[in-house]
Amino acid sequence: MNGARWLVQALLAEGVDTLFGYPGGAIMPFYDALHGSSLKHVLVRHEQGAAFAANGYARASGHVGVCVATSGPGASNLVTGIADAMLDSVPMVCITGQVGTPLMGTDAFQELDVFGMTMPIVKHNFLPRSVDDLPDIVAEAFRLAREGRPGPVLIDLPKDVQNADASHLPAHAPAKVDATPGASDAALHAALAQLALAQKPVIYAGGGIALGDAVDAFRAFVDATQIPTVSTLKALGALPHAHPLNMGMLGMHGNRAANLAVHECDLLFVVGARFDDRATGKLAEFAPNARVVHLDIDACEIGKLRIADAPVEGDLTISLQRMLAASAAHLHGRHGVARHAWRDACLHAKQIAAPRYDAPGDSVYAPSLLRRLSELAPAAIVSCDVGQHQMWVAQHWRFDHPRNHLTSGALGAMGFGLPAAIGAQMVKPDAQVICVSGDGSFLMNVQELATVARYRLPVKIVLLDNQALGMVRQWQELFFERRYSEIDLSDNPDFCALALAFGLQTMKVDRADDVEAALQALMAAPGPMLLHVAIDQTANVWPLVPPNRNNSEMLDADEATTLERIALPTMPQVPASTTQTSALSLPLSS
């Protein structure tokens, strides 16, 4: 029993069943210990693929994803996937080999300061110097990854620690994950006071709803309050797509009605969101007339970018459930007629702003294709890369749960889609997993087609090919006077031939009339398949909020035209002097 074998048993004790990695010299004792164990190791073809696959595994399931790499380039190749997990709060434990402790600091072969290199992009990292450190380090690594606001933790494991005698170590016992406390009574009273006084409230839903397993509590709260709700990119599906109060995504490429409702509201009820710049546009003019109630598990997010009139720190489920115990008068407010008029106006605006799918011409219209595919695969887990196709998926896919939407939100990492889909398919073997990618993103981790083929994963890949870096091209068209610099991908390979070389079924579609048959064939394919979709290079994502503009100033397909605001009722603002929480008596029993 050496350190590496003890670590394998510890991973099993932590409930790990699958890990993603690539072997090398400094991590070889661990790979020797894996031999014959019940842990399923997925051999990717690049360490970045391992990190993104573990990332997708964690996003789709809520469990801790685990990836493994050797020292030096193996560890540095994990960095992008670790950073993505940190910025999107994804629970991961990353294990890297390191040169033996006597060689550390000597510029030994494949030695890097992985501890220092990853410090800014992890919740915590560890560098054990002795095999006796392993029990505490492994337990703490998994506890930190899971607890509170989740995130990645790294263990940089020297080779001599892996080889050291561990027969005296106790069997691993996972550390208890302390429950996050609920918010204080005073905070909940203040939040409900703001809610009771609002005439034009909007709920602003963020990714913390899924991270905190608060989807059910959130839906119950929306149903009880009947407040129009907007979502960030990571919150899509927190309300089912067809829910009448679901206004859609807000932000740079958000739904017009969602953006305009936020701009006109008098209360922004924020649940697990962080006021990201892509969601807020020009921050100084974001929800300019609104007071803010901000619920979040992370105190650092509350007041970071927008001062909260009612900060509510704590577990989202507990906070929402306790507020639901309040009387209807507090949930529905003191201005019932005005609030009903506001809700009706928002829903009317949503109807007016609904996207159209009757694009003229014979070429494939990507939004229409994606909307139709979402109808054919309503329960699919969709993994996106980054670019125009990512925004089209967010706008037009009909998500019913946020864990079905895997996307690199804060980091915006191209190359995420295919390996994340692999991770999702591994943890959800019976689910339909679809990767939507663009021609630029796809080639960044195209080698993982070998992983799909090796493990016979039935991942379906929809490759939207405009022979350009589409989002960069769109910005150069709109904001750089059409000076197209280094966005031409007209020398792309034959993607169908490439996929065939890896053993996948393929099909190509370039005409709108052929889309339905192609999608039907894609979904009927028994194994993995790539659908290569040729689209117009000049197609843009609309609407769009220009840089340094507020979200009410969206542009449509005519870049010179600013959309007029959809008419929403004008209502008097609630005077600040009337927001007295002491006047309320609320049944906030836990």
Which two tokens mark 226?
């009947």
Which member of 14, 47, 111, 553 is catalytic?
47
Per the annotation, the verdict on 553 as an active-site residue is no
- 325-331 contacts, C-beta under 8 A, 24 or more apart: 325/586, 325/587, 325/588, 325/589, 326/192, 326/586, 326/587, 326/588, 327/586, 327/587, 329/196, 330/192, 330/193, 330/195, 330/196, 330/584, 330/586, 331/192, 331/195, 331/196, 331/224, 331/225
Residues β-bridged to residue 20: 42, 67
N- to C-terminal Cα separation, the chain: 48
The three-state secondary structure class of 554 is: coil
Options 426, 471, 529, 571, the catalytic residue: 471
Q: Could you confirm whether 471 is annotated as catalytic?
A: yes
Q: 205 with 271: CB under 8 angstroms? A: yes
Phi, psi of 182 (to 5 degrees): -75, 170
What is the DSSP-derived secondary structure letter of residue 170?
A: P
**Catalytic status, residue 110:** yes
Kindly name the residue from 40, 109, 119, 516 that is annotated as catalytic.
109
Helix or strand holding residue 18 (H, E): strand 18-21
Report the amino acid identity of residue 478: L
In terms of phi and psi (left: phi > 0; alpha: psi -120 to 50; beta: otherwise), the region of 531 is beta
- Answer yes or no: are the C-beta atoms of 212 and 297 closer than 8 Å: yes
CA dihedral 228, 234, 237, 242 (to 10 degrees): 50
71, 97 Cβ separation under 8 angstroms: yes
Would you tell me the crossing angle of helices 256-264 and 336-352 to the nearest 10 degrees? 150
| Rounded distance between C-alpha atoms, residue 202 and residue 270, angstroms | 8
Q: Could you give the CA distance from residue 375 to residue 260 in angstroms, rounded to a whole number?
A: 28
Residue type, 520: Q
3 state DSSP class of 438: strand
Closest by Cα among 343, 208, 322, 178 to 273: 208
Residues 195 and 225: their CA atoms lie apart, in Å, by: 9
Continuous segment of H or E residues that includes residue 296: strand 291-296
Catalytic residue, chosen from 111, 115, 123, 159, is 159
Q: Tokens 């974001």 correspond to what residue?
A: 286
Residue 272 has a CB neighbour count (10 Å cut-off) of 28
Compute CA 54 distance to the chain's CA centroid, rounded to the nearest angstrom: 14
The CA–CA distances, whole Å, from 297 to 46, 175, 196, 294, 339 equal 34, 21, 23, 10, 29
Q: What gap in Å lies between CA 295 and CA 299, rounded to an integer?
A: 9
Residue keyed to tokens 């992890």:
122
Three-state SS for 524? helix
Alpha-carbon gap, residue 395 to 258, rounded angstroms: 12
- Give the residue numbers annotated as catalytic, written as ranges: 47, 109-110, 159, 471
